Amino acid sequence: MLGFLKQVTAYTKEAFGAANYLFQGLAVTFDHMRRRPITVQYPYEKLIPSERYRGRIHYEFDKCIACEVCVRVCPINLPVVDWVMNKETKKKELRNYSIDFGVCIFCGNCVEYCPTNCLSMTEEYELAAFDRHSLNYDNVALGRLPTSVTTDPSVQPLRELSYLPKGTMDPHDLPQDISRAGKLPSEIIELGKENPSTINLKKTTQNPTQIEPNQE
């Protein structure tokens, strides 16, 4: 009789333990039901990159003065500026310019320090290639205008998840005029002009209008 009672007790303990594990698994499942969806049906849907996204560099050949500042500020001396000195005019003549995106770390130093603003970071991030040598862009490839998620008719653009309105979980089918949780950089600048105490005005020689929100 005592042995039977022990067996029943052990069986009951195991049944409660199994039910506990089952409940823990279901709790994780139910918890996911109220989380933000992160699936994007790429390439039919694409997230709109952040305004400050540092993607493929765009280059304007006509503005470049071959000063090589971009090479000196690059952590890996990556841009190749191919120029010759014209002995008659005693001026540099630019022949070619290239950046190897298979090596570039997209730090943006070259863009920041270029004196003629002929370099800019774009929102283009699809740089996959079968041959990494094809990522070495010359001035023609660098001068190509970037593809934009919002202007491509074959793509459904999704607003960036971090910019979704507060409390909104689904990035699909949002009206464009709905206010979002995060502020645009232009909105932060306007806010700083109206109320300078809310932000730090950080003036530098390179970018005198650079403004950073207060870290609170």
Provide, rounded to whole angstroms, the least separation between the CB of residue 76 and ligand SF4: 6
Please state, in angstroms and rounded to a whole number, the distance separating the CA atoms of residues 166 and 127. 32
Nearer to ligand SF4, 51 or 190 (CB): 51
Query: Site residues (CB under 6 A) for ligand SF4?
Result: 64-70, 74-76, 78-79, 81, 99, 104-110, 114-116, 118-119
Radius of gyration of the chain (CA): 28
Provide, rounded to whole angstroms, the least separation between the CB of residue 80 and ligand SF4: 10
Nearer to ligand SF4, 53 or 106 (CB): 106
Nearer to ligand SF4, 76 or 184 (CB): 76
Sequence-separated (6 or more) residues with CB below 8 Å from residue 174: 159, 164, 165, 168
Provide, rounded to whole angstroms, the least separation between the CB of residue 202 and ligand SF4: 21
Sequence-separated (6 or more) residues with CB below 8 Å from residue 179: 165
Helix or strand holding residue 212 (H, E): strand 211-213
Provide, rounded to whole angstroms, the least separation between the CB of residue 33 and ligand SF4: 41
Nearer to ligand SF4, 114 or 158 (CB): 114
Please state, in angstroms and rounded to a whole number, the distance separating the CA atoms of residues 42 and 49. 14
